[in-house]
A and B are shown apart, each in its own frame.
Chain A
Amino acid sequence: MTERQRPGLGVSRRAWLTHFLGLAAAPSGFAQDTPRVVTVGFLRAYEPYSHAAGNGQIHGFDVDVSQRLCELLGYRMQILSDGLPGLARRLQAGEVAWLGNQVLMTPDNRRQMDFVRPAYASIQLSAIQHEDDDRDFLSLDDAFGKRLGVLAGSGVEEQARGALGRSVQSYARVVDALHDLSQKKLDLVLEENLIADYYIDKHHLPLKVAAPFIEPIAVGLGVRKGDRDRNALLSKAIRQMLEDGSFKRISDKWFGYDVSRSRISHDQTR
């Protein structure tokens, strides 16, 4: 398992989703679930959302969330983990009831599938800095001449290199960039806030999630286009999970706080 595979095929969340939808044509013949058993599809190398544990079983934040949704809906969840091509094929074949990883809500994606609202996590590309560093990095302009770490092969790397050139250092695994940042070999790292929060806690790194760089990524669980019943059921279950405290327990387990709540004012993506 490498983090290059995290977004699916070694690219950013956006690029992964674009690729995913390119492979997955509009689903047809969506199979009915066996009563009270649903198969939920997860990427197997998408830490901390869904990834293989020591025993080889898939676990993660998104897995726990879908497990809770199944409990609320009276389902028994069957996990189907795969790489991107396999997941796309199985989704088309109706072997997956929904995608357990939240999907980017682009106009193109909206034409391909429906999204369950609300999203249960606020995800935002942010500046990650050493906890001792009080400088303000709010834009790539602020990072000019500084040592910036990014995930290799991502859209972020492309944009950063375009603006900053050689001072951008790319990493195959973002956790390695975070370790370098903790040793002050970098000035900042650009990464999604939740992934950074997860690794900061997991590896006890002296880092902090600082300024957001872009608006929160609009995401949601993806369901078959036109499947209003499932969409409504999941939406209701998500709201219940957010209200009854069960989501917060899951969120605390993986991130140490309630990630359903935005970390900015005036969030237009909620």
Chain B
Amino acid sequence: MKCLSHHHSRSLLQLAAGMLAMLLQGCVTQNLVPPAVDQVRFSPLPVQRRTIDEPKVKFLPREDGFEYCARITGIPVTPTSRPMACAFWNVKRKDCTIVTPMNTGYNYLGHELRHCMEGSFHD
């Protein structure tokens, strides 16, 4: 293995740090801070109290994700806010569909996944 000088290694570290920062910036959404509800830990409902205990989940990113979620939830699309994701489910068939816009965040997907199992847990 070829060793690098101290000078070279420091330069590479700075470069790597810069690249990592750029990568991380590319991962975050434009709304940098997730909603408060997504920044806390929660205790999952016991299986017997879940709306659907083991749902079959479909993840459906759509071009009209904002508009669809606004239409079925009643949350309006305004210049300052819009529904970032939504889910609908069928208890009898034990299936659940999560709808998001084409660009979304981990928290939104995770949040809706909890809805699939626990129903309207924060309404």
Chain A interface residues toward B at CB < 8 A: 124, 136, 138-139, 141, 197, 208-216, 256-258, 261-270
Name the A residues within 8 Å of B72 (CB-CB): 124, 211-215, 264
Q: Which residues of B contact A136 (CB under 8 A)?
A: 60, 97
Beta-carbon contact of A138 and B120 below 8 Å: no
B residues near A (Cβ < 8 Å) are 51, 60, 62, 64, 68-69, 71-75, 83, 85-93, 97, 99, 112, 115, 119-120, 123
Q: A267 touching B71 by the CB < 8 A rule?
A: no
Please report whether the interface of chain A is mostly helix, strand, loop or mixed according to DSSP: loop
Report whether B92 and A265 are in contact in the complex, using a CB–CB cutoff of 8 Å: no
* A257/B86 in contact, CB under 8 A: no
Chain A, Cβ-Cβ closest to B112 = A265
A221 to chain B, nearest CB (A): 21
Alpha-carbon distance between A264 and B92 when the two chains are bound, in angstroms: 14
Contact of A138 with B62 in the complex, beta carbons under 8 Å: yes
CA distance A168 to B74 in the complex (A): 26
- The minimal Cβ–Cβ distance linking B92 to chain A, given in whole angstroms, is 6
- A selection of 25 A-B contacts at a CB cut-off of 8 Å is A138-B64, A138-B99, A139-B64, A211-B72, A212-B72, A212-B88, A214-B71, A215-B71, A215-B72, A215-B73, A216-B74, A257-B91, A261-B51, A263-B89, A264-B72, A264-B73, A264-B89, A265-B86, A265-B87, A265-B88, A266-B73, A266-B123, A267-B73, A267-B74, A267-B120
